[in-house]
Amino acid sequence: MEDKKRILIIGAGVSGLTAIKSCLEEDLQPVCFERDNQLGGIWYYTEDLRPGQSSAAYKSIISNNSKETLCFSDFPFQKEDPALVTYDTITQYLVNYANHFGLGKYIYYNRNVVKVEMCKDYETTGQWDVSYVDGGSGDVTVETFDGIMVCSGGGFGKPYIHAISGLDKFKGITIHGNAYRQPAPFIGKKVIVVGSSHTAGDISCELGRNQCSKVYLCVRRPVMVMTRISLDGGWNPDMFLTQRLRQMLPAWFSNYKFNTFYSTATQESPGTMVNDEILYRIACNHVNVVPEIARITEKSVEFIDGRVIDDVDVIVFATGYEISYPIIDEALIFGE
């Protein structure tokens, strides 16, 4: 009998767990290396960024999707779980998922992959050499596999902060949204949050209701705010938005109202922010909306409309991530 092909799965988050399960279903031999001491990926919360971690959950994070559309089709959330789930509920769900399908025995924790490259005889074997560091010994080991599945969040590989004139001269605190955990360190401070998507909205609202001196939300384009709970019957909007029937409709039809409103109102395609609180915080002046930053000085921030905010203490960049796969020749993924 021919030996099963050994497939290395890098990362034991959402994608990694489903990859293990899929390999078993295809009669492959999965081996999963997880650099942390627990499965869960970005949903595994720790008070500080873990070594090498990029995208990370903050303590107050709530899923944008309802549990019905967030779960795997063959493993629903428990009935008693809330409609919208927190990071710890999701982490436990993933642990339960792994236990239910017997995936845990294929996961090796505290193994950090540092390099993936084709074997010298790749043209005939199709195999890969993988260098990894075992957290226990610290030694670098090289092992050969028949296939590689990178499930380590390369789409959120490197925090992105766009170039802004004078940023390097700023004397206050600058952090990326991935390093934000909770509001306590920012109480009493004047904070500017840069970004127009979900994380920027969540951080702005949390800081706005937690005794910050002042909170500004800096957006570069119009934003459509969507709530998690519909005012029409209390349904989660994603129960409609992700229906297969809607996805089969022609784009011009399903987006008619959306496009008509925004092309008339702004002449620009908007971003999307899922947030139940941001409009209220803006109305109460807990969060102040400002346009794109033009330049930064040691203590001040000037915007493209000429407005200047002095004595800024903190700038939080909730500006997304660059796609990055540093462990492998990216030409193999993206082409030359």
Name the residue ranges covered by the structural domains of the chain. Answer: 6-156+323-334, 161-319
Decide if 6-156+323-334 and 161-319 have a common fold.
Answer: yes
Residues in the chain: 336
Report pLDDT for 236: 72
pTM: 0.87
> Which portions of the chain are predicted below pLDDT 50?
1, 257-258, 260-267
* Statement: 6-156+323-334 belongs to CATH 3.40.50.300: no
Assigned CATH topology for domain 161-319: FAD/NAD(P)-binding domain (3.50.50)
Tally Cβ neighbours within 10 Å of residue 28. 18
d(CA 74, CA 77): 10
Contact (Cβ atoms closer than 8 angstroms) between residue 41 and residue 56: no
E strand intervals along the chain: 6-10, 29-34, 107-109, 111-118, 128-134, 140-145, 147-150, 158-159, 173-176, 190-194, 214-218, 223-226, 271-274, 288-290, 293-296, 301-303, 308-309, 314-317, 321-322
Report pLDDT for 194: 98
Report pLDDT for 32: 98
Task: Please enumerate in sequence order all residues whose Cβ is within 8 A of that of 32, keeping only pairs 6 or more positions apart, or say none.
Answer: 8, 9, 10, 11, 12, 16, 19, 20, 103, 106, 107, 108
Token pair belonging to 113: 């992959």
Tokens 């084709």 belong to residue: 118
Task: Please enumerate in sequence order all residues whose Cβ is within 8 A of that of 163, keeping only pairs 6 or more positions apart, or say none.
Answer: none
153: left (phi over 0), alpha (psi -120 to 50) or beta: left
d(CA 212, CA 179): 18
Contact (Cβ atoms closer than 8 angstroms) between residue 311 and residue 319: no
> CA-based angle 205:259:220, to the nearest 5?
40
Q: At what angle do helices 14-25 and 87-100 cross, to 10 degrees?
A: 10
DSSP 220: S
d(CA 71, CA 81): 12
Nearest to 64 by CA among 227, 277, 180: 227
> CA-based angle 257:267:197, to the nearest 5?
75
d(CA 190, CA 205): 14
d(CA 44, CA 140): 25
